[in-house]
Amino acid sequence: MSAPIRIAVDIGGTFTDIEILEAATGRVHQFKTPSTPEDPSIGLIGGIRAAAERFGFPLSAVEHILHGTTIATNAVLERKLPAGAVVTTAGFEDVLEIGRHGRRDVYALTLTPRPPLVPRQLCFGVPERVGPDGRVRVPLDDAAVRAVADRLLAAGVRAVAVCLLHAYANPVHERRVGEILAAALPGVAVSLSSDVSPEIREYERLSTTVLNALLIPVVSGYTDRLSERVAEETPRSQVYLVQSNGGVSGLAKAGREPARLLLSGPSGGAAAARRLSAELGEPNLVAVDMGGTSFDVSVVHDGAISMVVEGEVDGLPVRLPMVEMRTIGAGGGSIAWVDDGGRLRIGPHSAGARPGPACYRRGGTSLTVTDANLLLGRLGAASFMGGAMPLDPDLAAEAATPIASALRLSVEETAAGVIAVTNSSLATAIRLSLFEKGLDPEDFALLSFGGAGGVHACDVADDLGIDRVIFPPHASTLSAWGILWSDIVHDLAATEISPLAEAGPRLKVAAGRLAVDGNRLLSEDGVTEAARRFDWSLDLRYAGQAFDLAVPLDDGDVSPAGLTAAAARFHALHRQRFSYDEPDTPIEVVALRLASVGRLPKPVAARETTALPTGIVERRPVWTRGGFTETDVVQRDGLGAAPIAGPAIVEEVYTSAYIPPAWEAVLETFGALVARRIAQS
C-alpha cells in the first residue's frame, strides 16, 4: 500500500488552492485550479484528481482531506438561505428585529436597516421562564409549543431557531421544545441556542442560532455531495472542515453547527501565520491574504493569533470563538469603477472566477486589479499560472479605456491609479487592525500571501512605515498550507457571572462539566487520550462594564493563585487595548471557555531547499513611480544567496512579488523571501 497522503484544500471565490503532504518523503506540493461556484465540491475533487496526476500519487493513498470552505459565508452574504422561523420566550418575539442600537454610520441622516433573516410574522413566543440563576419560574407550556409547530408546518419553513431567554443557565425548556418540534416537523432543521452558543446577551445568541439553523440545509446538502464524491474518488480518506477558530471538525458536526464555518477559509491563513511566526523567529507579524475576491488581515502578536468570542458576518453578530480577522472586498478580481462624483473606486464587487478579469479571456469586460497589474508590467502575460493560463494585455487595455476616458487619463495612468487606490485601501485595513489593539505597525513585519498579494505588499508596507516584508514559500496557497497542520478543536463555554475573587468554587464545577463534554466530543472523533489537549480561558471585565476580554487561564487553574495570574493578564491586556487599566476596580467573570483539542497525526515536512542561481530570466518595462522602467524578472526557484535590488519582479508558478526601488530582497530561512527597505542616505 502507498504511503499516506494528507491534502488541504482552500476554496476561494476565484481559485481552489491545494496543498499535498507526502508522509513517506515529507515533501509538500502546491496546486491551484479555478473554483466551480455552482458546486465547490466539483472543483475540489477535480483539483485533487489533477494534482494526483501531476505529482504521481494514487487517490487510494489519500488519508486525510482538510477543507476550508466559503459556502456558509457566501450563503449569508448572498442571502441564499431557506425560509426559517424563530421560537422564543413569550414577550421576546421582537429581539431579532430590535437588535442593538449602536449606529454603524454616525454621520448618516437616515438609516435603512437590513431586514432580519427571519421576518417578524415567523417569530413565535411560547409561555415559559427560566431565571438567570437557572431556576424554573414558569413551566413550559407543551400545548403552546405544539400549536406553534402546527403553524410552522403550515408555513413550510425548512429551519427553526429555538432561543429561550435564559437557556444558557438551564437548557431544560429548550431541549423539550426541540423534542416537540423535531417530532412534529420531520426533515426540518431545528437548532437550539443552548447547543450552539450557551451564553448571555439574548440578541447575539439569537442571531447566532438563527444563522446556524438557516445554514444547516445549505451546508448539510454540500457535505452530503462532498461525502459521495470523496467516497467514489478517495475511499480511504477522512474529511474534516475548517472552522472559524482555526481548528477542524468532522462532517457530522459541521452539518449540525455550520455557523462555526463562517470564517472557514481565512482562518487557515491565520494558522499558517502563527506557525511561520515560530519557524521564522518573527513574534510580530501582520498576515495579509489577498486572493481574487477579498483581502484578509490577521495579527500575530508575541507569537499568538488574536481570537475573539464574537464576530460579524455582513453586519450579523456571531457569538462564537473565531480568529480575529478584518476582511475587505479588495482582491485581484475587484472591479474598478467611477462614482457619481468622478472618483475612482475599487470593489467591493468582484469579477470572481467566471468570467474573471478581462485579461483572462473568459468574457470579462470590467477593469480589475489584476488587469491593472498586467498593464503596469507587474504580472507577466506569458508566465501567469506557470504559463498554463496566458493573459491578454489588449483585453485589459480595452477594459481600462472607458475608465480612462471618464478620468481623462491614459490607460497606463488609469492602471496606476487603480493600484494606488487599492494599496491605500489595503493599508487602511491593516492600520485599523493594529491601532484598535494599541499596536504600532513599525513593530511588525508584513507576511504577504495569496495569489494577488505579492505585487502590492512592499508598496503597502512603505505606506505603513513597515520596513520588512516576508514572502513565504507556497505564498499563493498559504491558507491551504496552514490548514494542512490543523487539529480538531471543539469550543465549549459556560456563563458564570460573579466577582473574580469569589468565583473559584463555581468555576471549578463549571470546569469539571466542560471537561466531561470536551472528552466526550474527542472520544466521538476517535482521538486517543495522549493526543488530547485542553486550552482554558476566562472572559473578564471590570465591574460595571458591558464588554469583556478573553484572557488565558493556565491549565484551567481556578485556585486563588491561578485567578490572580488571570487578573494580572486582564489588566495588562486592557491597558494595551484601551491605554488604561484600573487595578483597584473589582474584576468580574463573565464566562469560562474550553478549547478541547484533538491533535491529528502529521508527517514531518521536509525543509524547503534553495536551488542554484539561474540569473535574470527576462527584462520588461514595469511601472515604478510615474513611468516605466526596464526591470529584471527572476524566478524564485532559481534564487541564490545574493540580495536582489529593486526594481525587480520575482516570479513563481502561482504568484509574483514586486520589489520596488529602495527595497532589496534575499532568500532566507525555510525558503522565505524577505524584502527590506534600504536606508536612504
pLDDT tens-place string over residues 445-457: 999 998 889 999 9
State pLDDT tens for residues 122-134.
999 999 999 999 9
pLDDT of residue 611: 46
Side chain identity at 486, as an amino acid letter?
S
Please give the pLDDT value at position 1.
43
- The beta-strand segments (E) located in 23-149 are 28-34, 62-68, 84-89, 123-126, 129-130, 136-138
633 vs 623: CA distance, rounded Å: 13
pTM: 0.85
At 328, is the secondary structure helix, strand, or coil? strand
CATH 3.30.1490 fits 488-598, yes or no: yes
Q: Chain centroid to CA 372: how far?
A: 27
Question: What are the C-alpha distances in Å from 623 to residues 378, 539, 653?
Answer: 8, 50, 22
C-alpha cell at 356: 474573471
> Cα-atom radius of gyration of the chain, to the nearest Å?
26
pLDDT at site 613: 46
Q: What angle do CA 272, 276, 277 make, to 5 degrees?
A: 115
Paired with 30 in beta bridges are: 19
What is the Cβ-side half-sphere exposure of residue 157, based on CA atoms within 13 angstroms?
32
Instruction: Give counts: helices (H), strands (E), the chain.
Output: 16, 35
Return the pLDDT at 680. Answer: 61
Low-confidence ranges of the chain (pLDDT < 70): 1-2, 13, 353, 606-616, 680-681
Cell of 589: 467573570
- Give the pLDDT confidence score for residue 606 in this predicted structure: 65
Packed helices 411-435 and 393-407: angle between N→C axes, nearest 10 degrees: 80
Instruction: Output DSSP code: residue 368.
Output: B
State the virtual CA torsion across 147, 153, 159, 163 in degrees, nearest 10: -10
> Cis peptide before 647, with omega less than 30 degrees from 0?
yes
Amino acid at 657: A
Q: Report which secondary-structure segment, H or E, holds 229.
A: helix 202-233
290 φ/ψ sector (left φ>0, alpha ψ -120 to 50, else beta) = beta
DSSP 653: S
pLDDT of residue 616: 61
What does the chain come to in residues?
A: 681
Residues forming CATH 3.30.1490 domain(s) in the chain: 488-598
